[in-house]
Structure 1
Amino acid sequence: MTSTQLPVSVTLITLNEADRIADAILSVRDWVSEVVVIDSGSTDDTVQVAEALGARVLYNPWPGYGQQKRFAEDQATEDWILNIDADERILPELQQELQQLFQQPDRLAEGYHVAIHDRLYLTDRLSSYTPYNPVRLYRKSCGRYSDSPVHDRVIMQDGASTGQLKGRIAHDSLRSFSHRLDKMNAYTDAQARDMLNKGRKPSRIRMVIDFWISFISGYCFRGYWRGGLMGYIYAMNFAYSRFLRQIKLYELHQQAQNERADKS
């Protein structure tokens, strides 16, 4: 680590991200101690691209989102962790804020929330509002990712202090609409399974109204209306994902009931 680098390990988890991993690494590599990439078996050039950019790449079979991020934490050499996804970029405003923040280490909190804004597909525009404000910068001695296979969030220890950063992370979530649908299908499968395992039961009312409530929430309250046609598409996409997880929970619940009936 040089005098201009922060004592921070950036962690990323990857699977076939060769077309996006470079931008993520380049947004951080010059001002942090290390970049640690945990790959779960990419068949494209993800590993080669990451290594060429100076990242330390390790392989770990896919155990689920939370568990993979916990594995990444264990490989980091610094106590401070900055976790980003391969489709995210640290904006210059956030870099500058972090560099100023670490100039006064005695005033640091144990963790920091960072707002993550979608970059609207086929545009350079960031969404004006985001409900997604997770802890992404934290001391691993004071907080760790949960081991949930679906809900990958940092859980801080009782009494650990947290702050809010003003800088933002840009989220380039779409490669294409087809890619988005494939990703949504896989993720809602996992969500529905997780809901069933937690004892959640399907609701016919929610299957009917979730789409429309979610669309209104996304288009009006999340501010997607400001994004024109692309904002409308994002709101529809958000609503459809909420609808999918409800009908998939219903499907799994009915299948389980049918199996129990067949055995009785």
Structure 2
Amino acid sequence: MARDAKPPVSAYIRARNEARMIADVARAALQVADEVVVVDSGSTDDTARLAAEAGARVVRQDWLGNGHQKRFAEEQCRHDWLLDLDADEIVTPELAAEIRALFDGGEPPRPVYRTPMAIAPPVGEPWTRFGLAKRCKLYDRRVVRAPAHAAWDQFAVPAGVKTGRLKNPIIHHAFADTAHLVDKLNRNSSTRARELAPKPMPVLALRVFFGLPFYFARRYLLDGLFRGGVYGFSFALLSAWGRWLRDVKMFERRKKEAERRK
């Protein structure tokens, strides 16, 4: 591949009212992707215009559900190799160079690549040395596809498929401020409590009573968010609350279903 050529990669982004960052996300993706496809599900702000001006191809599609919307986005892409990005995730120059290098000798040796995800707090530097999640962001759609699911949008790697690992992270600007984060966590917990198969009532009751401190300890201590100062503590606590809120809402759902059956 020529030095300045882009590999045969399509980046896709699901968006609705994402004017805050969509132009930056699209431009950053174009460092490595041959095309960027933004699937807009009815934005009332400047998302579509800003994405198009940044070089993306905008496709409009009403919201189908988390996994279903990704499936639709995959089908709009020209290439089989896909880069899955949210509308607040930035591809760094280092990651772009690493992905380009994978294609130097033709197709990459693995069909799926896990990518570190580094949170960027509203103030301060991204947390690139702690609190990193791993997501399968670069993949060959001939081997694996996003799940056809209303709530879940992360695919399981098929048995026998070997994954590669990318070293440089995507920078995830997960929240503009605390109010934004609370809104996202509340919305996501409602979707998952409604769409995922519910756990048995005794399990949910135990999680409602005891889950919150466990979820917090996992994020704050095991994931290293204690190194993030005030924002690290706040983010760990709010993330734990969002996970716990799903349990509470699922418990409430089961109670209402039991009442209707009486």
Q: TM-score, normalised by structure 1?
A: 0.92
Letter in 1 for 2:87: A
Distance 1:65 1:120 in 2: 24
Letter in 1 for 2:174: S
Matches within 5 A, 1:241-260: 241-260=242-261
Q: 5+ unaligned residues in a row in structure 1: which ranges?
A: none
> 2:8 touches 2:34 (CA, 8 Å); kept in 1?
yes
Number of the residue aligned with 1:86: 87
> 1:12 touches 1:38 (CA, 8 Å); kept in 2?
yes
Number of the residue aligned with 1:149: 150
- Superposition deviation, residue 107 in structure 1: 5.0
Number of the residue aligned with 1:201: 200
- Superposition deviation, residue 201 in structure 1: 2.4
Distance 1:111 1:243 in 2: 31
Question: Structure 1, residues 94-127: CA drift from partner, whole Å, max 9, x if none?
Answer: 1111121110225521111111111122112315
- Superposition deviation, residue 158 in structure 1: 4.7
Number of the residue aligned with 2:226: 225
- Superposition deviation, residue 162 in structure 1: 1.9
Distance 1:188 1:106 in 2: 38
2:168 aligned counterpart, secondary structure:
strand
> 1:115 touches 1:130 (CA, 8 Å); kept in 2?
no
Q: 1:8 to 1:219 in 2, by over 3 A?
A: same
> 1:9 touches 1:82 (CA, 8 Å); kept in 2?
yes
- Superposition deviation, residue 223 in structure 1: 0.6
> 2:126 touches 2:171 (CA, 8 Å); kept in 1?
no
2:114 is equivalent to residue 110 of structure 1 = no
> 1:192 touches 1:248 (CA, 8 Å); kept in 2?
yes
Number of the residue aligned with 2:40: 39
1:6 aligned counterpart, secondary structure:
coil
Matches within 5 A, 1:100-179: 100-105=101-106, 107-130=108-131, 132-179=133-180
Distance 1:243 1:127 in 2: 26
2:169 aligned counterpart, secondary structure:
strand
> 1:69 touches 1:145 (CA, 8 Å); kept in 2?
yes
Q: 1:107 to 1:187 in 2, by over 3 A?
A: closer
2:134 aligned counterpart, secondary structure:
coil
Letter in 2 for 1:10: A
- Superposition deviation, residue 48 in structure 1: 0.2
- Superposition deviation, residue 214 in structure 1: 0.9
2:126 aligned counterpart, secondary structure:
coil
| Fraction of identical pairs, as percent | 32
Question: Structure 1, residues 212-236: CA drift from partner, whole Å, max 9, x if none?
Answer: 0111111111111101111110111
Distance 1:74 1:249 in 2: 32
- Superposition deviation, residue 51 in structure 1: 0.6
> 1:127 touches 1:223 (CA, 8 Å); kept in 2?
no
Distance 2:5 2:142 in 1: 24
Distance 1:260 1:119 in 2: 46
Distance 2:128 2:122 in 1: 10
The number of residue pairs the alignment matches comes to 259
Q: 1:199 to 1:225 in 2, by over 3 A?
A: closer
Q: 5+ unaligned residues in a row in structure 2: which ranges?
A: none
Letter in 2 for 1:134: R
- Superposition deviation, residue 156 in structure 1: 4.3
Matches within 5 A, 1:38-57: 38-57=39-58
1:38 aligned counterpart, secondary structure:
strand
> 1:17 touches 1:86 (CA, 8 Å); kept in 2?
yes
> 2:27 touches 2:55 (CA, 8 Å); kept in 1?
no
Q: TM-score, normalised by structure 2?
A: 0.93
